[in-house]
Each structure stands twice: as structure tokens, then as C-alpha cells.
């Protein structure tokens, strides 16, 4: 297994994985998320921009997963201490490759990516009910820092 930076020729494989990701998210929160197709322009933009990268997990020429990571800064409010950090916007491991350490390898490479840029920490969001992802993130050293709550009207 190797982890590498995505290139334009990876867009079709990334689109396919995004379809799996959106379907899984829709299953967890069907009242708020629906299955969808990825936006090629969005993927291309994140491949081309210097503040973001898409990491690809590849085995024998097959794309096993991806992770979209972006460099961010804390909001410019007086109450916030300024920080530069990495934000993992999306991570998806192909359904056939789950449980093989692909997510762990992607997160390890994300940590290296952030360290190379002298960022202070990595942040991500996870949907309530996504127990497998939550366990992986906790195993990798992530902990709760904020909770989003919703009230139906």
C-alpha cells in the first residue's frame, strides 16, 4: 500500500469513492443528506490549490481510499487565539478495503502533511452514528472539542 498526492488522472476514482461516501452519510442522516455525485470542479480545485491536497491510498494500481486535507486558520475573532491547522474535510475507504488499515495509513500521512507545513493540529468532523470512523479517529489520538446539536421545529 502506498499513499500519494492525487493528480488530475485520479479524479474519476475519487468521484467513485465520493459516491460511496455520500451514500454512507445519507444512510446515517437521511433527513439531511442524500446520495449525490461529486463535483469534478471541486475535486480538481483541491488537487490544484496549494492549501489543500487529496491523498490517495493505492494498492497494485487500485485506489483503495482518499483523504482531502486543507490548511486553515482560526477565525479572526478577538476571543480566538490564532492557530494554523489542518482540516480533514473528507475521508473515504472503498467498501471492499475497509478493516485493512487504509484509513490509519491515510491519517498517518495526513499527520505528516500537517507537520511538514508546521501546522499545530488536525481537526475533522464525524457524523453522529458513524461508530467505525469515531473509533478510528480516537485510536489515532483525536478527541471531542465541540459538539453540534440540532432541534427539530
Q: Give the span between the Cα atoms of 10 and 111, in whole angstroms.
A: 22
Degrees to nearest 5, angle at CA 2 with 43 and 144? 65
Distances (CA, A) of 69 to 51, 65, 78, 111, 152: 9, 13, 26, 10, 32
With beta carbons less than 8 A apart as the criterion, state whether 65 and 17 touch.
Answer: yes
Report residue 55 as a C-alpha cell: 491523498
> In this structure, is residue 146 part of a structural domain?
no
Predicted local confidence at residue 139, as pLDDT? 96
Confidence of residue 54 (pLDDT cuts 50, 70, 90): very high
> In this structure, is residue 126 part of a structural domain?
yes
Predicted local confidence at residue 13, as pLDDT? 96
> In this structure, is residue 153 part of a structural domain?
no
Confidence of residue 62 (pLDDT cuts 50, 70, 90): very high
pTM passes above 0.75: yes
Confidence of residue 114 (pLDDT cuts 50, 70, 90): very high
> In this structure, is residue 150 part of a structural domain?
no
> In this structure, is residue 148 part of a structural domain?
no
Predicted local confidence at residue 57, as pLDDT? 98
Q: Give the span between the Cα atoms of 49 and 57, in whole angstroms.
A: 20
Confidence of residue 31 (pLDDT cuts 50, 70, 90): very high
Question: How many structural domains is the chain composed of?
Answer: 1
Predicted local confidence at residue 56, as pLDDT? 98
Rounded percentage of the chain residues whose pLDDT exceeds 90: 93
What is the domain range of residue 15? 2-139
Predicted local confidence at residue 74, as pLDDT? 94
> In this structure, is residue 27 part of a structural domain?
yes
Predicted local confidence at residue 46, as pLDDT? 97
Distances (CA, A) of 93 to 1, 127, 146, 147: 13, 16, 25, 25
With beta carbons less than 8 A apart as the criterion, state whether 86 and 56 touch.
Answer: no
Burial 95-104 (b: 16+ CB within 10 A, else e): eebeebebbe
> In this structure, is residue 92 part of a structural domain?
yes
Predicted local confidence at residue 65, as pLDDT? 98
With beta carbons less than 8 A apart as the criterion, state whether 69 and 36 touch.
Answer: no
Q: Smallest Cα–Cα separation from 67: which of 5, 19, 119, 131?
A: 5
> In this structure, is residue 121 part of a structural domain?
yes
Predicted local confidence at residue 21, as pLDDT? 96
Predicted local confidence at residue 7, as pLDDT? 97
**What's 64's domain CATH number?**
3.40.630.30
Predicted local confidence at residue 60, as pLDDT? 93
Q: Give the span between the Cα atoms of 53 and 101, in whole angstroms.
A: 21
Amino acid at each position: 500500500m502506498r499513499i500519494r498526492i492525487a493528480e488530475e488522472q485520479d479524479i474519476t476514482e475519487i468521484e467513485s469513492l465520493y459516491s460511496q461516501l455520500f451514500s454512507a452519510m445519507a444512510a446515517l442522516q437521511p433527513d439531511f443528506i442524500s446520495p449525490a455525485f461529486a463535483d469534478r470542479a471541486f475535486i480538481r480545485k483541491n488537487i490544484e490549490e496549494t492549501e489543500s491536497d487529496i491523498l490517495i491510498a493505492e494498492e497494485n494500481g487500485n485506489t483503495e481510499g482518499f483523504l482531502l486535507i486543507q490548511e486553515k486558520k482560526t477565525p479572526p475573532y478577538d476571543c480566538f487565539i490564532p492557530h494554523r491547522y489542518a482540516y480533514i474535510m473528507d475521508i473515504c475507504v472503498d467498501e471492499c478495503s475497509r478493516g485493512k488499515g487504509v484509513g490509519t495509513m491515510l491519517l498517518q500521512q495526513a499527520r505528516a502533511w500537517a507537520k511538514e507545513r508546521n501546522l499545530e493540529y488536525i481537526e475533522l468532523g464525524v457524523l453522529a452514528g458513524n461508530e467505525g470512523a469515531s473509533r478510528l479517529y480516537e485510536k489515532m489520538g483525536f478527541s471531542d472539542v465541540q459538539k453540534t446539536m440540532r432541534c427539530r421545529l
